[in-house]
Chains A and B, each alone.
Chain A
């Protein structure tokens, strides 16, 4: 896809403080479970989904960061659910015991969470400065989704673009 198919990326000075703050907030949703005092992996994901739908129309920069933050949570959430499920089985079932495989998975989970945590904090700081940070896989996807001219979403901080106007009425031939 050519560069013309995408909107020009805004530079930090072109973004308002509010946009930067809202974009930063997307990554800080990983602390959502602290507020509910429930250490369930799903809480952060639900918070990220809510935040995404509440804020995505506010601006492309916010939409991009919300989408990237939401998508990047998915693998960690799945890994954490796996760990929770396995731990509960060991705790409640007598047929499951602590073994090397579990410890290996525990180590992997801790590492995955740590990487996710560090990346998210760095991304939050960069978003606050109005700088784009692309996560592996999710970054390019979010960029394509948000900044592509095929994206029909109307943003509150943009004038209506005639080239993205949906053509409802078309000639019969």
Chain B
């Protein structure tokens, strides 16, 4: 899986302020309203894909593509909410974005055994250990976000280290989501790289 959010040379201060004050109204609400329905459909397809994997050992390709597109949309939104990218995030599953990219290779086969193990014990061996690390990373990420916010406000530059850290945290979360969503058999590494 390859996830990236480009680090811009300069960030728009006016956009930062606009997002900070009215972001909930003009970005979060319209996107979340639509994403609610698309995610609902995504979760239905996840259940169908789970059953399909159990019977055939394959994640139906068109359903896989839908999930990847949905993740891309979520990424576009997350990048703006964390001030990691400028410009308004595109709506829709086929929306494009010059600042974010997410590539998930389609697996020809998904292990049926692992799928059942994930369902029964996924919380114990995937979610819990990763959640501990991600919890502390997110806490530090909040502090870095405030620092980066002020940095962009006064210098129009997003500190590279903070950017990499925040993108790394998102990447880590997405790896866990992909694994728990049966979209890969590769156990998510405890790494943000």
Contact = CB atoms under 8 A, between A and B. Distances in A.
Contacts of A21: 52, 56, 58, 60-63
A25 B41 contact: no
Interface residues of A, number: 20
A28 B60 CA distance: 12
A26 to B, nearest CB: 10
Interface stretch (A30-38, A105-113, A131-139, A160-168): A30-38
Contacts of A35: 40, 43-44, 46-47
Contacts of A22: 60, 62
B48 A25 contact: yes
Interface string A1-42: 000000000000000011001101100110110111000000
Contacts of A25: 45, 48, 52, 60, 62-63
A63 interface: no
B33 interface: no
Contact of B56 (A31, A47, A128): A128
Contact of B40 (A18, A36, A58, A128): A36
B154 interface: no
B55 A125 contact: yes
A74 interface: no
A47 B61 CA distance: 19
A31 B52 contact: no
Interface string B34-60: 000000110111111001100110101
Give me the 7 closest cross-chain CB pairs, A-B, nearest first: A21-B60, A35-B47, A35-B44, A28-B48, A35-B43, A32-B44, A34-B47
Given A25-B45, A25-B62, 8 more contacts: A18-B61, A22-B60, A24-B52, A25-B63, A35-B44, A35-B46, A36-B40, A50-B41
